[in-house]
Structure 1
Amino acid sequence: MTTVPAPHDATRKEAPVPTEPALSSESVPSTAEGGRPGPAAGLPALVAWHAERAPHALAVADGDATLTYGQLAGAARALAGQLQRHGVRPGDAVALLMPRSARTVVAQLALWWAGAVCVPLDPAHPRARTEALIEDAGVTLTVGDGKLLDAVAPAGATLVLPDAPLSAAWPDDEPGAGEPPADRSLPDAAPAPAAESAPDAAAFIMFTSGSTGRPKGVALAHRAIAELVTDPGYLTLTSRDRVLFHSPMTFDASTFEVWAALANGAAVVVCTVERPSFEDLAQQAERHGVTVAFFTTALFHQLAVRRSRIFAPLRTVVVGGEALAAHHAGEVLRAFPWLELVNGYGPTETTTFATAHRVTPADCAGQVPIGRPIAGATAHVLDEDGRPVPDGERGELWVGGSRLALGYSGRPELTAERFTTHPEWGRLYRTGDVVSRRPDGILDFHGRTDDQVKVRGFRIEPGEVEHALREQPEVADAAVTVQRPSPDDARLIAFVVAAPGPVPRAEALRDRLAAVLPGPLVPDELTVVDDLPLTPSGKVDRRALTDLLLADTAGAPAGPLTPLEQAVADLWSRSLGREVTRADADFLTLGGHSLLALVVTDDLREELGVELSLADFFTAPTVADQAALVERALLAAHPEPRPHAPENTDDN
């Protein structure tokens, strides 16, 4: 990995300083036309303005339930008052643990109105992971769903939210509110009251993968989020739009999905299915008239391959997380020519998106660019010595501007390492991404300077997974890399050197990792090897690791498959890109993952007429199990007719 020197080295006299030192975007003004608050006022002020101006306009749709802007503001203010009476003070880090719903939107807004920093937690994460994030963020209170709080039992104070906190009235004796901690003085019980946060105060702490085995909590400021989503010039978004909210709360894309809508008077459409299928997403879009949606690049590729009908009601699609395949982008634009397709780029440290590009059919003839900086961001392409590189040459991308994160929560040394202050360009974040700049200022993406990878839109530091593997007593060493069996599939592969003693079982190791790591960080395949290949400099040779993959784990046929087993095996083979021939073949062991499971469940629906949820899919991990599940579903949908009773022919 190359090292860029500190700013005073990067700007020594012999380093050329260009007349236009960086790509930059126009900053959003502090006050919008019509008296609307500008980004500096923050998102709560924007929501309040829309609630006053159009109180009956739709703000949130959640299944059959809806919230107008007036109801949203009233419910959030009432909950903010309850939080303050529970002892929440400005600047407190408050964790939010609840399923994705309209209540989630109310709770996030209420936390900000109470002056708190929202720390979203994923209900699907292992308990140990959730506990570690709560500790690292310095959480003083955890609020959310009662059942989830009981399951996690987080340390410190908790507050159970009612099942439907969607009215403006929230009585002081609300059941389940719990008693405030005795060691905290409570404010007067007067109605809530907006503890306005400073523009540069933290709004969210969102965690990303860490190379040392410890996740990093990225603190995002109110101003940065508001500037990203207020009157976004990189896409079309009006008060008449409806934006789909289907990402996990812990994924920074959810920030765009919720607050891009609410900052502009549009509506949020909540997908409440925990792990939505392709069909679930399409039905949500059609039922609620969704016009704007974000998809991870991997999900977009799968939807593009299937020419999903979800694109039909949409006007704008934002894609991000990995390199966008030109042929998939082209196919979608040809099939849905009215669609505005935006390729977004940006690590969490730059507040979701730092650059964006509206993709045209002409872009699809080559590499799709990541575009120019947006909404107050700046972009600098530097060489190994920290000097600007000429157009067309590759360098590391450093991002500046007003939307940089405040830093890493509780980790000042890491913050100082990744965020530096440049005398000419201000505060910069070193992305570790390799880019080049075209003569017209548009950026192309070329990969990483380090080992960080993206798998299905999730940012993964292999070191975090390797650390978790080395913690296992049967493991002497480990290395993790990414395999791409096809352009539309990426799999996290772990290679393990066994410690003296019994050879570890891959399934057992994966199960133990699943107890401490979130799903995307659990390797899709795990292979035991004698040793790890090294480069001449003594580092793990990750390119050579792919040569160590063992023979197809599906193995030789163990006997003929039944017709239903063969149908399931054929669908698996098509999805996994490898032949599946055994009834006892396991989907996860063969490298399957949640996105490929979505592909299989959609194929089962289209080709066999069977509706399987992802939860059902993963309860039947083998070909035989899944064939039995399919058979039961088919019998339930098409029961055999009951035989008629014989007619009575007795003449007497």
Structure 2
Amino acid sequence: MTTRTPYVPDAPKEGPVLTDGTLPHERIPSGDRTGPVPPAGRPAPEAGLAALVAWHAERTPHALAVADGDTTLTYGQLVASARALAAHLRENGVRPGDSVALLLPRSARTVVAQLALWWAGAGCVPLDPAHPKARSEALTADAGATLTVGDRKLLESMAPAGATLALPGEPLLGGDALAAAELGPDATAFTMFTSGSTGRPKGVAIGHRAVAELVLDPAYVTLTARDRVLFHSPMTFDASTFEVWGALANGAAVVVCTTERPSLEDLARHVERHGVTVAFFTTALFHQLAGRRSRIFSLLRTVIVGGEALSAHHAGEVLGAFPWLELVNGYGPTEATTFTTTHRVTPADCHGPMPIGRPIAGASVHLLDDAGQPVAAGARGELWIGGSRLAHGYTGQPELTAERFRDLPGRGRLYRTGDLVSQRPDGTLDFHGRTDDQVKIRGFRIEPGEIEHALRERPEVADAAVTVLHPTPEDARLAAFVVAAPGPVPRPDALRETLSAVLPAHLIPDDIQFVEALPLTPSGKVDRRALRDLVADGGADAPAGPLGPLEQAVAEIWSRSLGREVARADADFLALGGHSLLALAVADDLREDLGVELTLADFFAAPTVAGHAALVERALLAAHSDLRPGAPEATDVH
């Protein structure tokens, strides 16, 4: 197998800050690059991702491309399978320029199918099997998808409106291979949806060249043909773009974590088993792993974090314990293709606010005031992003596209982020929050207005407001404050269940409280700061009765993660503000403290103290059959 020599990029080159507020690009002119010289004949980013993968398949056909559990695909097999599937798609009506929705669990088939869609000339609209049917149908319609392809069982379960096509269960390796469709560099590769303040998600159309420029020979992170990159993010999350195509554009291997909701230990085992060297973690997940000094950091060489503000404390703890680790803090909205700026974290950075770095891979940044003029040196301004990796816009929403993507005189086409940043003398950026109500929780971009809209659609709700609570510095929770309509007041758990039929899990409030009225500012807007004062203390309820030994052990583990006392056997994890990321922490503690492996599916099937205690007891009895009631007593042999 032919490989390139690994390299460690130099620190970003410093340069003067331009007078218009633009920071210098971090792309190095040809002949002065920090990375390797591109091999002769390799396609340029303008050729697209499919061409780059095909080029690697020609040079190193036997190199590992995708590992999926016990299944592997070499580059030669990946390309042959994708081309054959592309021919199958063409035979079933897929044409260049189509948008096609893809409904598959995370697997090697996912990678093959995405590549096949591109070879057939179509853009991919990823769908999440965990999302409710109503939402997936809305996204498919908004993206203008002409067809939904995917797993037969998932398609039968979802029963989407419009045409569907079940993909073959095994890779197609026979038949005539389809020649790649002629795609322009700006042809849409993905349409990914983000939360929308009006209640309607926004479909962001991202071009092939934009993704290729992000991932090809990245100077902001070490990524070579010898690496293995973990693919564990949902397909609908733009981090998956880096996880899959960052690997395949550079001749590396994608290691797919097929567990739908992997625990912290699942991730560590997967990394260990498959020799993963590079991984992306949402900031919140990184904080959980760092707080537990997870062994996963002893196995990896490179970790990229992004989605929220990175804790300097946790970064320092990880680098102190694992000093060889390359830790990169990434920032960027989906509209600018995953990462706009990055910062290589050093121990010196871990004594103050963590910077978000400098622009990478063709991106440019502008710090502007309300009048669209550059702010003074060191002052805070709104971040506008330019460069060749901007999305085409929002599908089917021309007015919103015109509002957020603008042509500014002398600066070209820019995306208005709504993020407040400041610039250090060396050009490094610091993040200072938002100009609006948008929030980031556990890596997801959330518009409270989308959740409020869904709540107000319920006949039992008169009004609603959603905000974020921080029980601890590292834990962020969505809280909904609801004014009930006349009549019986619904139970919070019943309201959460109705929301789950139209919203994905990350948009379901962790806490729902009913109030007489929403607090307002003098201008008549909801006072979101005052909402936090309405939080009721639900953690000091008197116990309904004494807890059994296992119930007490479970309650103590819950208390550590939830940051509140848990004293009732019927206490509900979700009702106490628990969420999926805290569930990972609880499951990890149950494994370490009680020796019981509890899957997240089991966790949420019985999310009470008593329910978890029963699961723990059952697992312990199964592991120690001699403890089962009625089992013969063991006899000592002397």
Q: TM-score, normalised by structure 1?
A: 0.92
Cα distance in 1 for partners of 2:215, 2:48 equals: 11
1:34 to partner: Cα distance: 2.2
After the TM superposition, which residues 116-195 of structure 1 pair with which residues of structure 2 at under 5 Å, given as runs? 116-165=122-171, 167-169=172-174, 191-195=177-181
The structure 2 residue matched to 1:110, chosen from 113, 116, 123, is 116
- SS of the aligned residue for 1:468 comes to helix
Alignment pair present for 1:643 and 2:629: no
Partner residue, 1:649: none
1:24 to partner: Cα distance: 3.5
Cα distance in 1 for partners of 2:233, 2:406 equals: 31
AA aligned opposite 1:516 = V
Partner residue, 2:476: 490
After the TM superposition, which residues 67-82 of structure 1 pair with which residues of structure 2 at under 5 Å, given as runs? 67-82=73-88
AA aligned opposite 2:173 = A
The structure 2 residue matched to 1:313, chosen from 285, 299, 304, is 299
Asked if 1 retains the 8 angstrom alpha-carbon contact of 2:626 and 2:633, the reply is no
Cα distance in 2 for partners of 1:562, 1:103 equals: 47
Cα distance in 2 for partners of 1:506, 1:553 equals: 16
Gaps of 5+ in 1: 1-16, 171-189, 647-652
* Residue-by-residue CA offset, 1:426-455 (whole Å, 9 max, x unaligned): 100000000000010000000000000011
* Residue-by-residue CA offset, 1:346-396 (whole Å, 9 max, x unaligned): 010010000000000001111110000100000001111111112211110
Asked if 2 retains the 8 angstrom alpha-carbon contact of 1:28 and 1:39, the reply is no
Cα distance in 2 for partners of 1:598, 1:191 equals: 44
Q: Give the aligned length.
A: 610
1:640 to partner: Cα distance: 1.5
1:169 to partner: Cα distance: 1.6
AA aligned opposite 1:440 = D
Alignment pair present for 1:458 and 2:444: yes
Cα distance in 2 for partners of 1:291, 1:20 equals: 40
- SS of the aligned residue for 1:312 comes to helix
For the structure 1 residues 29 and 270, does the alpha-carbon distance in structure 2 shift closer, same or farther, using more than 3 Å as the test?
farther
1:196 to partner: Cα distance: 2.6
Alignment pair present for 1:282 and 2:288: no
After the TM superposition, which residues 211-360 of structure 1 pair with which residues of structure 2 at under 5 Å, given as runs? 211-360=197-346
Partner residue, 1:445: 431
The structure 2 residue matched to 1:94, chosen from 95, 100, 105, is 100
Partner residue, 1:369: 355
Cα distance in 2 for partners of 1:191, 1:256 equals: 27
- SS of the aligned residue for 1:473 comes to coil
Cα distance in 2 for partners of 1:568, 1:193 equals: 58
After the TM superposition, which residues 48-87 of structure 1 pair with which residues of structure 2 at under 5 Å, given as runs? 48-87=54-93
- SS of the aligned residue for 1:220 comes to strand
For the structure 1 residues 455 and 592, does the alpha-carbon distance in structure 2 shift closer, same or farther, using more than 3 Å as the test?
same
Asked if 2 retains the 8 angstrom alpha-carbon contact of 1:380 and 1:397, the reply is yes
AA aligned opposite 1:220 = I
- SS of the aligned residue for 2:255 comes to strand
1:164 to partner: Cα distance: 2.0
Asked if 2 retains the 8 angstrom alpha-carbon contact of 1:491 and 1:524, the reply is yes
Cα distance in 2 for partners of 1:93, 1:115 equals: 9
1:161 to partner: Cα distance: 1.1
AA aligned opposite 1:168 = L
- SS of the aligned residue for 1:446 comes to strand
After the TM superposition, which residues 587-626 of structure 1 pair with which residues of structure 2 at under 5 Å, given as runs? 587-626=573-612
- SS of the aligned residue for 1:399 comes to strand
1:201 to partner: Cα distance: 0.9
Alignment pair present for 1:528 and 2:525: no
AA aligned opposite 2:126 = P
1:269 to partner: Cα distance: 0.2
For the structure 1 residues 226 and 579, does the alpha-carbon distance in structure 2 shift closer, same or farther, using more than 3 Å as the test?
same
Cα distance in 2 for partners of 1:207, 1:432 equals: 18
* Residue-by-residue CA offset, 1:9-38 (whole Å, 9 max, x unaligned): xxxxxxxx9535401324488993322111
Cα distance in 1 for partners of 2:317, 2:149 equals: 44
AA aligned opposite 1:117 = G
Cα distance in 1 for partners of 2:116, 2:190 equals: 13
Cα distance in 1 for partners of 2:436, 2:385 equals: 17
- SS of the aligned residue for 1:200 comes to coil
Partner residue, 1:7: none
- SS of the aligned residue for 2:327 comes to strand
- SS of the aligned residue for 1:106 comes to helix
- SS of the aligned residue for 1:404 comes to coil
* Residue-by-residue CA offset, 1:148-205 (whole Å, 9 max, x unaligned): 000111111111112222x4225xxxxxxxxxxxxxxxxxxx6412103110111100
* Residue-by-residue CA offset, 1:450-500 (whole Å, 9 max, x unaligned): 000011111000000000000011111000000000011100000001111
* Residue-by-residue CA offset, 1:54-101 (whole Å, 9 max, x unaligned): 000000001111000000000000000101111111110000001000
Asked if 1 retains the 8 angstrom alpha-carbon contact of 2:277 and 2:301, the reply is yes
AA aligned opposite 1:432 = G
Cα distance in 2 for partners of 1:254, 1:645 equals: 53
Partner residue, 2:3: none
Q: TM-score, normalised by structure 2?
A: 0.94
Asked if 2 retains the 8 angstrom alpha-carbon contact of 1:554 and 1:585, the reply is no
Cα distance in 2 for partners of 1:51, 1:518 equals: 37
AA aligned opposite 1:394 = R
- What is the root-mean-square deviation of aligned Cα atoms in Å? 1.5
Asked if 2 retains the 8 angstrom alpha-carbon contact of 1:28 and 1:38, the reply is no
Alignment pair present for 1:22 and 2:22: yes
After the TM superposition, which residues 421-436 of structure 1 pair with which residues of structure 2 at under 5 Å, given as runs? 421-436=407-422
Gaps of 5+ in 2: 1-16, 31-36
* Residue-by-residue CA offset, 1:269-323 (whole Å, 9 max, x unaligned): 0000000000110011001110000000000000000010111121110000000
AA aligned opposite 1:595 = L
For the structure 1 residues 399 and 560, does the alpha-carbon distance in structure 2 shift closer, same or farther, using more than 3 Å as the test?
same
